[in-house]
Structure 1
């Protein structure tokens, strides 16, 4: 283990009206070789069936399980994530999407990769419809390199020495393939950046905006390959090159050199310090 690794990692996992996928992701988090100190579900307005699922699985969950829900008023994942981050207690925050199934060494690998002055960008294994359905039917808990139903199957390979090399060779401030479906951040860096910019509503660019502001603050991006693995359950996606209503805000961030979000995390920290999110295991 990295001698300077964070002591406690909180997982913030986003969701919206796909409780079947979220349950699989939570099952995978419960099987971690190194457990997080807590899991906070950042819920962007799901129906009651998501809450019911969380309450059903909570009694057997191995760490505190918290549910941060906001009203469904369109795509507001920046707000949902900020409220969940504000509710965390760990010194490191792992951002994960609710359609991502983490490898049993996911948390341990991210803790080992953590380094001050940087955030870690993880990769994702992509499934097609066949692979997704096999996982949702519980035929398998994980797909390997030789299984059908995968694309980008190279990301199924966990090879720690190559992971260490990738972290060393990818230092820098590249904006390519920034995805908050699999990222690791020091919590105090997120506080310094004031988290996500909640003016970003509708699909896209809130993740890239966070990274650009981190670069303005002098943080580096380090890419984690061959470790910190997670498998994405197939669904139709918007493409990165497609237009977003938030493109203008991202351009403003780049042009101004902004570091802190003007509408972000500091709106919620005092609330959760005074009234922590309850652990669903308590009933």
Structure 2
């Protein structure tokens, strides 16, 4: 080990700035309340150490003022950069404090479940709304035989950001490198088929799953999988409607399942939940300008560590062997953790390190009116195929 290595003050400053954002931005708790609860004390510890350091070291008050501006308005990247620019000189002048802060960061980094990403060129690209390029302009699927079904559950009762995101998702799925073919099923679960006319021409299979009340993603996915059982496609990808994929997404993940000994994989370690501006940038680049992959340097957002859902690839027979998702989960939370745990128990499951881009949208309610979790009553890993799953009319007469 080189005991004389120089601490990278720029990187330390970047991490301190990130923790100041993580400790004060309401979007952090909003993106995943359970991950926030696991991480909050570590955010507060690093930000508290930073404040104490600035009180001791910042004789001009400029860095302290930058920190106050950032914590008052953590959503403005200008404050992020202003603070990050002022910290390195202070760290250089106080090496003992620098060592302690770096150790504090290193310890916190081991425990946090939400991190912060700010690309160096965020906000520099002019953007337009995704609807400036009509969805009908999407490229056709590969002419090669289909090996995988992409299954997307969907509901958007306002016809807003989630619909925009799904259209971008479908366009990105249509713009894929040559290789194995795929088919796309969208399952819209709602009180009526609001988006049928818009979506049906863009997918291989549109399925309406009637249900009022809380959105039941688990049941919607199961309905789509059961509907497609006769197609005998070897692989299944369960994809959220807000995920924007790169051009090699299909070929890369089909190759992994074809060559590997595993039955299920999650192709990402961290999921980047983009802010509103970054979402517009990503959509414009990927679906408007046709870039194969969106550069992270242009993006800003929150990184979720090893989330269980968003994008899951698996062998179709394994999905049916475990009975699909547990349909007792309704509203936000728990269904992805449960099925990933059951899939891992049934056959090998691994992760890869791809970039996963999650587009911005209004956050759903994460608890009931009394503050309790929606699905605390469900016993994890108790669902099985013998209970029956994916029954189309299951909720037709139910009123939540």
- Report the CA distance shift for 1:236/1:177 in structure 2 as closer, same or farther (over 3 A): farther
Distance 2:365 2:261 in 1: 32
Q: Distance in 1 between matches of 2:224 and 2:215?
A: 16
Q: Relative to structure 2, which stretch is displaced further, 203-212 or 45-54?
A: 45-54
1:80 is aligned to 2:209? no
Rounded to whole Å, the distance in 2 between the matches of 1:149 and 1:266 is: 38
Q: Is residue 214 of structure 1 aligned with residue 335 of structure 2?
A: no
Contact 1:45–1:70 under 8 Å retained in 2: yes
Aligned residues: 227
Deviations 1:40-96 (Å, cap 9, x if unpaired)?
0022227655212114x43xxxxx611111124221111100011112321100111
Distance 2:300 2:191 in 1: 28
SS in 1 for 2:167: helix
Question: C-alpha distance in 2, partners of 1:120/1:240?
Answer: 26
- Residue 332 of structure 2: aligned partner: 203
Task: Give, in whole Å, the separation in 1 of the partners of 2:207 and 2:387.
Answer: 19
Q: Does 1:26 align with 2:170?
A: yes
1:53 paired to 2:182? no
Cα deviation for residue 240 of structure 1 reads 8.6
Q: Give the match for residue 95 of structure 2.
A: none
Structure 2: distance between partners of 1:36 and 1:243: 44
Alpha-carbon contact 1:12-1:40 (below 8 Å) kept: yes
Q: Is the CA contact (8 Å cut-off) linking 1:12 and 1:81 kept in structure 2?
A: yes
RMSD: 3.1
Give the 3 Å change call, closer, same or farther, for CA 148–199 of structure 1 in structure 2. closer
1:121 aligns with 2:247: no
Q: Which residue of 2 aligns with 1:265?
A: 389
Change (3 A) 1:110 1:250: farther
> In structure 1, how many angstroms separate the alpha carbons of the residues matched to 2:211 and 2:262?
35
Structure 1 equivalent of residue 253 of structure 2: 110
Q: 1:176-234: per-residue Cα shift (whole Å, max 9, x none)?
A: 834331110100001110111112222211111112222333x23201113xx442101
Contact 2:261 2:348 in 1 (8 A): no
Q: Select which of 140, 147, 152 maps to 1:13.
A: 152
Q: Residues of 2 paired with 1:47 and 1:65: CA distance?
A: 20
Aligned pair in 2 of structure 1 residues 212, 182: CA closer, same or farther (>3 Å)?
same
C-alpha distance in structure 2 between counterparts of 1:236 and 1:264, whole Å: 33
The corresponding residue for 2:318 is 189
Highest relative contact order (Cα 8 Å, sep 6+), 1 or 2? 1
Where 2:176 maps in the other structure, the secondary structure is: coil
Equivalence for 1:143: 294
Q: 1:201 to 1:105 in 2, by over 3 A?
A: same
Matched, 1:233 2:359: yes
Give the whole-Å Cα distance in 2 for the aligned partners of 1:212 and 1:188.
Answer: 16
Q: Distance in 1 between matches of 2:356 and 2:299?
A: 17
Give unpaired runs (5+ residues) of structure 2: 1-144, 157-161, 393-400
Query: Which residue is 1:223 aligned to?
Result: 351
More helix by share: 2
CA contact (8 A) 2:224 2:390 kept: no
User: Distance between the aligned counterparts of 1:21 and 1:150, measured in 2?
Assistant: 16
The two structures have a TM-score, normalised by structure 1, of 0.69
Q: CA deviation at 1:21?
A: 1.3
For residues 236 and 321 of structure 2, what CA distance do their matches in structure 1 show? Answer: 14
Q: How does 1:239-278 map to 2 (within 5 A)?
A: 244-251=373-380, 253=381, 258=382, 260-261=384-385, 263-265=387-389, 267=391
Moved more, 95-104 or 12-21: 12-21
